[in-house]
């Protein structure tokens, strides 16, 4: 029995063409996109399509759209062997991270891909990305289980864990990287699946979809000279529940009395403050230096080797499930829910 794949089009560069009047890229009809990839018909795979209407620029992606995507996958889950989501690159890593939390015990692939150049351009990277994403989404092991039962981003010859991925380039075809976790799949002449790196769900249990997110969270980066009044304004923002604080190196911050006092006030008032390094690679180790140790004393928790995208969407997910319980949110932020951090 041949595999069935649902191809979900949200928008993005892969499905755009250039407006002759303005020169700007604009979405066009999804069927036109498929006409540019006749190679898909060579697969012994049934490919059905679903289009978000209207398709959006990924800069307009939102938690509401993530909920729609989660509903779409959940509603069609029993009908298909895998899902391929076409998405703009700018917020692709946020969407991949959010879906990884929202689709609990995922037993089928959700492969998110797109392109740096539109599908109808001669040098497009979209064809290879789409074709290989479909092949990976349809792949099964000797037991008939999905080879990659998790949310991943396929781009530039690699499948990466979605909640470990960051966009690294606006110019290169190899636009994404997973700096703190190795690639799940390498696609060259052959497709190599690194099975020891891939999540192993309980195939005897159903997938559990979640549809709630609480976006009362903010991200800010420390820098030399950051002002006290701005920090206090952020920490005392009405209804704010959590902060992703991007620090220096292995989780360090200025040893300013006012900064530590402000952070302590925030955590005592129930705000969850997560320490994420500004470095692309490596992990937060707050016990390594004295300034990091003082952050711990102020109630700041380590985000370990999480990406910013992984941390902020995880907070949205946890806050929606434990709305008045910051201690439980803190506890789960230190645990790996979907392989998003190393523990």
Binding residues: 58, 89-90
By C-alpha distance, which of 94, 66, 79 is closest to 10?
66
- Report the b/e string of 75-112 with b at 16+ CB within 10 A: eebeebbbbbbbbbbbbbbbbbbbbbbbbbbbbbbbbb
Question: Which one is catalytic: 13, 113, 165, 267?
Answer: 13
By C-alpha distance, which of 208, 237, 212 is closest to 322?
212
Residue positions forming the annotated binding site for substrate: 58, 89-90
Write down the H helix ranges in 53-195: 63-76, 92-102, 126-138
User: Roughly what angle, to the nearest 10 degrees, separates helices 257-268 and 228-235?
Assistant: 0
By C-alpha distance, which of 56, 42, 43 is closest to 8?
56
Report CA-CA distances (Å) from 262 to 8, 32, 145, 182, 299: 45, 54, 50, 37, 11
Q: Does the active-site annotation cover 247? A: no
For the chain, how far is it from start to end, CA to CA, in angstroms?
Answer: 40
| Tokens read off for 24 | 């700007």
d(CA 137, CA 274): 34
C-beta pairs of 168-172 under 8 Å, 24+ apart in sequence? 168/280, 171/116, 172/116
d(CA 45, CA 191): 17
Question: Which one is catalytic: 10, 89, 247, 267?
Answer: 89
> What φ, ψ does residue 199 adopt, rounded to 5°?
-60, 145
d(CA 85, CA 209): 17
Neighbours of 74 (CB within 10 A): 16
d(CA 92, CA 94): 5
| Tokens read off for 48 | 């059905």
Q: Does the active-site annotation cover 192? A: no
The residues carrying an active-site annotation are 13, 89
């Amino acid at each position: 029995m041949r595999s069935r794949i649902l191809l979900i089009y949200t928008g993005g560069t892969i499905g755009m063409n250039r407006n002759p009047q303005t020169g700007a890229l604009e979405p066009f009809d999804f069927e036109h996109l498929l006409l540019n990839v006749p190679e898909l018909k060579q697969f012994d795979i049934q490919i059905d399509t679903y289009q978000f209407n209207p398709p959006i620029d990924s800069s307009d992606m939102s938690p509401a759209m993530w909920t729609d995507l989660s509903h779409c996958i959940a509603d069609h889950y029993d009908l298909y062997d895998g899902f391929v989501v076409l998405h703009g690159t700018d917020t692709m890593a946020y969407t991949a991270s959010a879906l990884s939390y929202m689709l609990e015990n995922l037993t089928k692939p959700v492969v998110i891909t797109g392109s740096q150049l539109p599908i109808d351009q001669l040098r497009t990277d979209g064809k290879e990305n789409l074709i290989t994403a479909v092949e990976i989404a349809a792949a099964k092991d000797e037991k008939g289980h999905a080879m990659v039962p998790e949310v991943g981003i396929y781009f530039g010859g690699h499948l990466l864990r979605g909640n470990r991925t960051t966009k690294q380039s606006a110019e290169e075809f190899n636009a994404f990287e997973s700096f703190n976790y190795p690639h799940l799949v390498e696609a060259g002449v052959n497709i190599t699946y690194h099975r020891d790196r891939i999540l192993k769900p309980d195939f005897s249990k159903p997938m559990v979809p979640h549809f709630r997110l609480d976006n009362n969270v903010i991200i800010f980066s420390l820098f030399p000279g950051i002002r006290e009044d701005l920090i206090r304004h952020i920490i005392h923002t009405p209804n704010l529940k959590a902060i992703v604080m991007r620090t220096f190196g292995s989780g360090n911050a200025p040893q300013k009395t006012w900064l530590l006092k402000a952070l302590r006030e925030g955590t005592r008032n129930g705000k969850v403050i997560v320490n994420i390094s500004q470095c692309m690679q490596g992990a937060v180790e707050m016990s390594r230096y004295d300034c990091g140790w003082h952050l711990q004393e102020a109630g700041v928790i380590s985000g370990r080797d999480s990406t910013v995208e992984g941390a902020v969407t995880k907070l949205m997910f946890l806050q929606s499930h434990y709305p008045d319980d910051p201690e439980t949110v803190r506890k789960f932020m230190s645990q790996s829910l979907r392989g998003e951090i190393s523990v």
